[in-house]
Amino acid sequence: MKSVNTKMGSFEWLLLLILSVLWGGSFFFVGVAVKVLPPLTIVVLRVGLAAIALNLIVRATGLRMPKEWRYWKAFFGMGLLNNMIPFCLIVWGQTHIASGLASIFNATTPLFTVLVAHAFTKDEKISGGRLGGILIGFIGVAVIIGLDSLGGLGTNTLAQFAVLGAALSYAFAGVYGRRFKSMGTAPLVTATGQVTTSTILLTPLALVVDQPWTIAMPGIGVWAAVVGLALVSTALAYIIYFRILATAGATNLLLVTFLIPVSAILLGVVFLGEQLAGKDLAGMGLICFGLAAIDGRLFSFFKRKMLPASAESVD
């Protein structure tokens, strides 16, 4: 298997920013839908509509879904790790703890990914700069969300562990998903297989828990939010997700967890007229600094610029 690039190029950074906007926008869509629909029903509609759309796109582009069991076994594994387990844990966890605190726990995903990738891969080992950058980025997320969100820390311990479990599941999904590159599946096919199997796994659970046939028919606004969640924040997002994973690796990919709060805040400023607070700017600055440390190129540039000057001063 060809090694991934531990340093992302400009195109990968652009895709990461786009992915953060798509997933940052999902909070808006969920916020609209959750007022009317129960959580598991939203999740099933999200992956189910995305599966329908992606299967149609696969056919329209002339691609074919693989028939061999080894591919579908991998799709089921990815759907379990990347959708079913984390979605259910986060949904249950957020019924007991504040969303801000849940977001902080979710932002531990890159920290877990560094450890999981170090343990299970040969080309994504821990380095001091990478680990330091991830810690700085995590602090930046905590600053944006605010100390007030830590008020519930220590209470509802099981719910907090549930959200941490979701972050760990995302980390394993990032590493597990690397296999699709060696299997020769296109990002579109991999994304389609994942949401299709996720739908198969989650539908029985939603039917038993939510009994959606007892729910009143949602309005147009709710359906628009569900469609946006499925097509934009899931179908398109996962195509980009697997494209980045194939070239930049699990650790780099899940840096998007840091960028999602930034995207959500900026979307609120642009479209909802919200104001940036001082802590938002401070947190964004820390996140940018952490990402620069992880990428390494900016610091290498300044190091090269400083070395000649230091040599001259010694002479």
For 275-313, write each residue's pLDDT tens digit: 767 877 787 788 778 777 766 665 665 666 665 555 555
Residue with tokens 């009994």: 211
pLDDT tens-digit map of 29-49: 887 888 888 889 999 999 999
Predicted pLDDT at 147:
66
Percent pLDDT > 90 in the chain is 31
Is the pLDDT at 3 greater than 60, yes or no? Answer: no
Spatial neighbors of 220 by CB under 8 A, at least 6 apart, are none
pTM: 0.76
Q: Can you tell me the distance from the alpha carbon of 53 to that of 42, in angstroms, rounded to the nearest whole number?
A: 16
Q: How confident is the model at residue 270 (pLDDT cuts 50, 70, 90)?
A: confident
More confident residue, 250 or 60: 60
Sequence-distant (6+) residues with CB within 8 A of 186 are: 63
What is the sign, positive or negative, of the torsion defined by CA atoms of 173, 178, 183, 189? Answer: positive
Distances (CA, A) of 217 to 50, 65, 223: 20, 34, 10
Query: How long is the chain?
Result: 315
Distances (CA, A) of 170 to 14, 18, 73, 153: 21, 19, 18, 22
Q: Per-residue pLDDT averaged across 186-203, rounded? A: 94
Residues 123, 235: Cα–Cα separation, whole Å: 29
Estimate to the nearest angstrom the gap between the alpha carbon of 297 and the chain centroid.
24
First to last CA, the chain: 48
Taking residues 165-173, report their average pLDDT: 92
Q: Find which of 59-63, 126-130, 155-159, 181-185 is predicted with most confidence, using mean pLDDT.
A: 59-63
d(CA 193, CA 51): 8
| Confidence at residue 101, expressed as pLDDT on a 0 to 100 scale | 65
Q: What is the pLDDT of residue 126?
A: 74
